[in-house]
Amino acid sequence: MNNGGKDRRKWLIIGIICGLVALLLMFIALFAHYFYPSRGDEPVRVVVGEGESAAQIAAKLHASEVITSATLFRFLSWLQGRQGDFKPGSYVFYTGMHYGEVFAMLEAGPNYQVRLTVPEGLTVEQTAGRVSQAMEVSAEEFMAAATSGDYAVELIPRENQDNLEGFLFPKTYDLTADAPAREVVEVLLGQFDAETSNLDWSQASELGMSPYQAVIAASLIEREAVLDEERPLVAAVIFNRLRMDMLLQIDATVQYALPEWKDVLTYDDLETPSPYNTYLHKGLPPAPICSPGLASIEAALNPADVDYLYYVATGDGGHFFTADYSEFLRVKEEVQK
């Protein structure tokens, strides 16, 4: 009888131990599931709204399967005092992320980015179209922000502050997808300052113009020249004509004055009544006609030392330059045959 009692106690102890081991294994499994879930490979986009609570954020993250428990997220964020540190905006997470990773990302700020490419030679309106295609900003919102007139750009005269034409620097940008229109404008303006910070703007006065007028000239160069080596030559033609009080007669200024781009200008187009029409008005246009790249701005400040007054496109991306009007007409006729 005594041996039987001992056996029962032994098996009871073994049973208790097995039960405890099973509970421990279950606890470990639950711990691993909630704290160390299986990380997914597919990105998940989550938008955190302005003023949203930790509970609201937790619900979104759980619904997107970024976290395994909204309750645990709320508890950990409360325990660690992180509830007020989460920044609103668009995020890219992955399913099954660790809570510490999620907290760190929410505290660092939005990370959902898009790539915005602004080529050289675009107008503000064309840039607005590019922005609306790449980001969550409409063209109308961008235009309203760009024409608000309260950016105080140093090179732009006070009376022209509502016209940022020429100063939205062409480049490829990685931006937060839901950045507001004003922020996008400020980024492009800031890039202009950064790209041109090492330029000697005093060279503009040596050419008889202000830095703003140099940007106007650069915008003409940008629309006229394709090859970088020709930009200083186009600049020389512009400044030589200005010194001689000649009409610039640049087709791109007429294109800017027209309601839409035309592949071929007519004689009627050249009579378009606009202050930008350099076939009718001497001097530079009143403002830039596009956003020039750095090469065109540098050319405007450093025109080639040549006496050219004319150029004609040769059909291969380049131009023929000359100071002789008869030669210009001859080459033009040959090119147009």
pTM: 0.75
* Residue 274, pLDDT score: 95
43 vs 192, residue with greater confidence:
192
3-state helix, strand, coil in the chain (%, to 5): 50, 10, 40
In 3D, which of 310, 304, 313, 305 has the Cα closest to residue 334? 313
- Domain shared by 212 and 332, yes or no: yes
Residue 186 domain flag? yes
- Domain shared by 207 and 318, yes or no: yes
Write out pLDDT tens, residues 181-237.
999 999 999 999 999 999 999 999 999 999 999 999 999 999 999 999 999 999 999
Distances (CA, A) of 160 to 31, 147, 178, 190: 63, 10, 29, 18
* Residue 1, pLDDT score: 47
pLDDT at 21 over 90: no
- Which residues span the domain enclosing 327? 202-336
Under the banding of pLDDT at 50, 70 and 90, the label for residue 32 is: very low
Final residue belonging to a domain, choices 196, 228, 258: 196
Per the CB < 8 A criterion, the answer to whether 112 and 87 are in contact is no
pLDDT at 117 over 90: yes
pLDDT at 75 over 90: no
* Residue 30, pLDDT score: 47
- Domain shared by 177 and 249, yes or no: no
Residue 219 domain flag? yes
Q: CA-to-CA distance for 58 and 284, rounded, in angstroms?
A: 59
- Domain shared by 218 and 182, yes or no: no
- Domain shared by 56 and 157, yes or no: no
CATH of the domain at 83: 3.30.1490.480
pLDDT at 294 over 50: yes
The crossing angle, in degrees rounded to 10, of helices 181-196 and 294-301 is 50
- Domain shared by 187 and 227, yes or no: no
Residue 3 domain flag? no
Final residue belonging to a domain, choices 173, 196, 219: 196
* Residue 237, pLDDT score: 97
Residue 28 domain flag? no
Q: What is the DSSP letter of 141?
A: H
Averaged pLDDT, 314-320: 88
* Residue 23, pLDDT score: 60
Alpha helices in the chain (DSSP H): 2-35, 54-63, 70-79, 99-108, 124-134, 139-146, 181-196, 202-206, 211-224, 231-243, 251-257, 294-301, 325-336
Instruction: Considering only the C-alpha atoms of the chain, give the largest distance between any 2 of them, rounded to a whole number of Å.
Output: 131
Question: What number of residues does the chain have?
Answer: 337
Q: How many separate domains does the chain show? A: 3
pLDDT at 7 over 80: no
- Domain shared by 154 and 254, yes or no: no
Residue 26 domain flag? no
- Domain shared by 287 and 209, yes or no: yes
- Domain shared by 38 and 129, yes or no: no
Q: CA-to-CA distance for 177 and 66, rounded, in angstroms?
A: 20
- Domain shared by 219 and 314, yes or no: yes
* Residue 250, pLDDT score: 95
Final residue belonging to a domain, choices 138, 161, 196: 196
* Residue 48, pLDDT score: 87
* Residue 111, pLDDT score: 82
Which tokens belong to 93?
């997470």
Per the CB < 8 A criterion, the answer to whether 152 and 162 are in contact is no
Under the banding of pLDDT at 50, 70 and 90, the label for residue 20 is: low
- Domain shared by 169 and 260, yes or no: no
In DSSP terms, 43 is beta-bridged to 94
Residue 264 domain flag? yes
- Domain shared by 206 and 331, yes or no: yes
Residue 76 domain flag? yes
Residue 9 domain flag? no
Write out pLDDT tens, residues 132-162.
999 889 999 999 999 998 888 999 998 899 9
